[in-house]
Amino acid sequence: MSLLEVKHITKRFGGLVAVSQLEFDVKKGEIIGLIGPNGAGKTTAFNMIAGTMRPTTGEIRFMDKKISNLKTNKIAALGVVRTFQLSTHFGNMTVLENVILGNHCRAGIGLWASLLHTGGARNRAAGSREEALRILEFMGLKDQRNELAKNLPHGQQRCLEVAIALATKPTLLLLDEPLQGMNHEELADMLDRIGRIRNGGITILLVEHNMKAVTSTCDRVVVLNFGEKIAEGLPRDVMKNTQVIEAYLGVEE
Amino acid sequence: MKYISYAGLLLLLFFIPFISRQEYMIHILCLIGINVIFACSLNAILNIGELNLAQSAFMGIGAYASTVMVMRLHLSFWIAMPLAMLVTSIVSLLIGFLTLRFKGAYFLLFTFLFAELMRVLLSNFGVGLFGGIPGLTNIPKPSIHIGNLVNVDFSSKVAFYYLIVSLVVFTIIVLRRVDKSRIGMIFTAIRQSDVLVESIGISTMKFKILGCAIGCLFAGLSGSLYAHFVGIITPGDFAIHSVFAPIAYVVVGGIGNVFGPVIGTAALMMLSNFFLRQFGFFELLLYGIIIVLIIRFMPEGIINAPRLLFSRMRKS
Amino acid sequence: MDATILAQGALNGVMLGLSYALVALGLSLIFGIMRIVNFAHGEMFMLGGYITYYLFGVYGINYFATLMTAVFIIGLLGMILEKAIFRPLTNRPEVALTSLIAAVGLAWVFQMLAVIFFGEQDKDIPTVFKGIIRLGGLMITWERFAAILIGIGLVLLLNLFLLKTKFGKAIRAVAEDKEAAALQGIQVARISSLSFGIGSGLAAAAGAIIAPIFIVSPSMGGEVILKAFLVVILGGMGSIPGAMLGGLVLGFLESYGGLFFSVPVMSVITFILIILILIVRPQGLLGRE
């Protein structure tokens, strides 16, 4: 059984059809790439899986449970967590606080317990803190843990955003252009980490423009153009597909 | 270290009525105290990233609830006050449930409408109970009678002073506890990116409603105190324009930290009373200008300035 | 009910609706580009009214020249506000809250300044277009008819600008996707400035149109921002036909509703109606998701 099933989803905005009858599966432990030229509908599809938008028709199932009609926070609690294309973090809080917050939904700290500062709440908070430090170490941000998030350079902010998502202990991690704005070194680091995240047992679906990265990292690739799926399969096979090449003609990597 | 300064401050506040027998000074301090509680309630809502123009209207709900309970239902002030707080909080839960689901600007609009609605309702409906446009007068002062031993009469401002100071301390303690808890952390996070909070599995709606309920609890408290201290309340007292000065107090002091509104209120009210009063109408203009300038140039407020200055210094 | 009263009421509704739509369009334009809700927008309307009072009403300058001057001055004011206050705020966290506070503060400042400089008293402006049109048995005043024509003209102008001109297309591109527009070489900062200016100018124009028909007062800004919001709620943010429809619905409600209900009752009805609409259709009657 697949972890995520995208079943014939369509998204209409008034007269415009952004995504049409999209269908694909994601199996546990895979790294799937969702690619296509600008305006192909990747972001819309991504948003529908993450719960930011609802499909006009069709449904999305996660672990055989329908999620396409659920709110974002419910979907995240179930284990499908996304990052954002544009810088999204808690700017005026420290890096460590950012990641601790990511862990909140798993920490099990009750509201009253937190208010009354009970022993149980304090223990769980300490546990969250340790988990957050572990994740920061993994993402290479441990030294920056007391920095305000807004003061980090761009590449590190992107790492922070992935760290926050990791803190939620996701089953399926949705990465929205994780490599955007990174230099070669940061890019290589991030790709390495993505691989290690998958090896740790987390399934990954990513949207990316960087073709080299996609070919080297993804197990399978789904190609969209004008809202429709035009190809699916191993990266090197898909890259040779004439339709795919045509779709990308004239688009610089 | 800081506990010593807190203790010292409390001691100072305790002794003020002995040092200065001036009725006027005590009166001002009482009003400042009531406004501090109100500013703290406003801050609690700004803390979750929402601007509630109806905050004064909620203070009004507390004021009217408390007054009606004492004058019409003949309850003791000591029961009416907490009940008024509860009533205000419950109303805010209802309104919050209906309106917090919308984006910040729409929520602002709803608070605007709600404030107007409250004023209209209190002016025109239930005149027998609420007194209509002229409002309610001769609101009884609280009193404490325990047999023949304790007989505290609140017609003297000094008794009120101690009551208000204690309640200010209570407000600060409770809100500080919330600030420092996980709940406070989530409130701050929502203020910075509610989208991100949702995507990490937390229901922003739930926390926004909670924040509103907590804030309005104290708005109700300030309303009840105001009604019994001043003795007269009218619907016009709690209309929208009365929320602007408190917004200035909170913005100047600093949003988010409970001490921000305390400092901002104390500082601006003192300034107003001993300096700005003479400018009459210009004072209101000044509050607006202060709000814009501070939010543009020093949005963290006085209380957070040291922390950010420190961080900027470390960066360079 | 007299046919003339009904006809006049309808015309009133259209005229009010158009002016609210103009203000709402300005608000939408600013929001679409900067993602900021300019609560001080109503004050641009108010200032447009006062400029009309002084230039046309007091100094007798040609009405159309006055209208254009008002649009220009307030447009400029809008651009200054954008550069000095709002744009710096967009580069910081918590922009949603700080921009709201700044806008509310600004609205307050403008209202107070208006009271200080113009006085609290309502001011009357002489009628611009005198006379009555007779259609069959109905009598309609020229001033309302002319106001409608001018309003429609402005909306058409805005439409043309957005669809055909280089700047208009750039504005639409930025509203759609800021990052993509920047990548295509559009200078987003200039577009932000321009949209704030145009948006404010639209509000000022609405003020200049309405002012001679009703009165000018410092509080007219606060009243109209509410109406503009309601138009946006009804018609959806960012849609020109939506704003027109929302404006018309609101205009008619106000025009005819005012005949039957007292002001307090209208407030209650409005509040409940808006909540119901938003619960059923959060995107407004015509808005996109």
What letters, b where the CB count within 10 A reaches 16 and e where it falls short, cover C166-175? Answer: eebebbbbbb
Whether the full predicted model's pTM is greater than 0.90, yes or no, is: no
Domain assignment present for residue A18? The answer is: yes
pLDDT of the residue at B212: 94
B157: pLDDT strictly greater than 90:
no
pLDDT band at B308 (very low <50, low <70, confident <90, very high): low
Find the domain containing B149 and state its range. 24-239
| Identity of the residue in A13, A90, A150 whose CB atom sits nearest the CB atom of C288 | A13
- Three state DSSP letters for A31-71: EEEEECCCCCCHHHHHHHHHCCCCCCEEEEEECCEECCCCC
Strand partners, A62: A4, A65
C283: pLDDT strictly greater than 80:
no
Tell me the chain A residues in contact with residue B178 when contact means C-beta distances shorter than 8 Å. 115
Contact predicate B80/B66, CB 8 Å: yes
Best mean pLDDT range from A43-47, A201-205, B142-146: A201-205
CB-neighbour burial class of residue B18 (10 A; exposed 0-12, middle 13-18, buried 19+): exposed
Vertex A77 angle, CA A71 and A82, to 5°: 75
User: Given an 8 Å threshold on Cβ–Cβ distance, is A14 in contact with C93?
Assistant: no
Section B60-68 average pLDDT: 94
Kindly report which listed range (A124-133, B150-159, C208-217, C278-287) carries the lowest average pLDDT score.
Answer: C278-287
User: Given an 8 Å threshold on Cβ–Cβ distance, is A86 in contact with C179?
Assistant: yes
pLDDT of the residue at C145: 85
Contact predicate C289/A16, CB 8 Å: no
Contact predicate B195/A82, CB 8 Å: no
Domain assignment present for residue B73? The answer is: yes
B120's CB contacts (< 8 A; 6+ apart) are C263, C264, C267, C268
Determine how β-strand A4-13 pairs with β-strand A16-26: antiparallel
Q: Which two tokens stand for residue C53?
A: 């009072």
Domain assignment present for residue C150? The answer is: yes
Find the domain containing C189 and state its range. 3-219
User: Given an 8 Å threshold on Cβ–Cβ distance, is A88 in contact with B193?
Assistant: yes
Contact predicate B247/B41, CB 8 Å: no
Are residue A13 and residue A133 in the same domain, yes or no? no
Domain assignment present for residue B162? The answer is: yes
Are residue A73 and residue A98 in the same domain, yes or no? no
Instruction: Give the gap in angstroms from C-alpha C147 to the nearest C-alpha of chain A.
Output: 33
The residue out of A156, A182, A208 marking a domain boundary is A156
Domain assignment present for residue A88? The answer is: no
CA C128/CA C209 separation, integer angstroms: 10
Q: Please tell me if residue A84 touches chain B, with a CB cutoff of 8 Å.
A: yes
Contact predicate B226/B56, CB 8 Å: no
User: Given an 8 Å threshold on Cβ–Cβ distance, is B182 in contact with A114?
Assistant: yes
- Average pLDDT over chain A reads 89
Domain assignment present for residue A59? The answer is: yes
Strand partners, B255: none
Q: How many separate domains does chain C show?
A: 1
Domain assignment present for residue B118? The answer is: yes
Alpha carbon distance, N-terminus to C-terminus of chain C: 42
Find the domain containing A133 and state its range. 94-156
pLDDT band at B39 (very low <50, low <70, confident <90, very high): very high
Are residue A239 and residue A133 in the same domain, yes or no? no
Are residue A25 and residue A147 in the same domain, yes or no? no
Domain assignment present for residue A84? The answer is: no
pLDDT tens digits, one per residue of C136-186: 667 778 888 888 899 999 999 998 998 888 888 888 888 877 777 877 788
Q: Write down which chains contact chain B via at least 3 CB pairs under 8 A.
A: A, C
Residue C82 is given by DSSP the state I
Contact predicate B104/C97, CB 8 Å: yes
CA A153/CA A155 separation, integer angstroms: 6
Are residue A147 and residue A99 in the same domain, yes or no? yes
Contact predicate C19/C144, CB 8 Å: no
Domain assignment present for residue C139? The answer is: yes
Residue B141 is given by DSSP the state P
pLDDT tens digits, one per residue of C55-110: 988 888 889 999 999 999 999 999 999 999 999 998 887 888 889 899 999 999 99
Tell me the chain B residues in contact with residue C92 when contact means C-beta distances shorter than 8 Å. 299
Size of chain B in residues: 316
pLDDT tens digits, one per residue of B198-216: 999 999 999 999 999 999 9
Instruction: Give the gap in angstroms from C-alpha A133 to the nearest C-alpha of chain C.
Output: 24
Domain assignment present for residue B55? The answer is: yes
Domain assignment present for residue C231? The answer is: no
Closest by alpha carbon to C274, among C238, C224, C239, C226? C226
Q: How many separate domains does chain B show?
A: 1
Q: How many separate domains does chain A show?
A: 2
Domain assignment present for residue C224? The answer is: no
User: Given an 8 Å threshold on Cβ–Cβ distance, is B193 in contact with A93?
Assistant: no
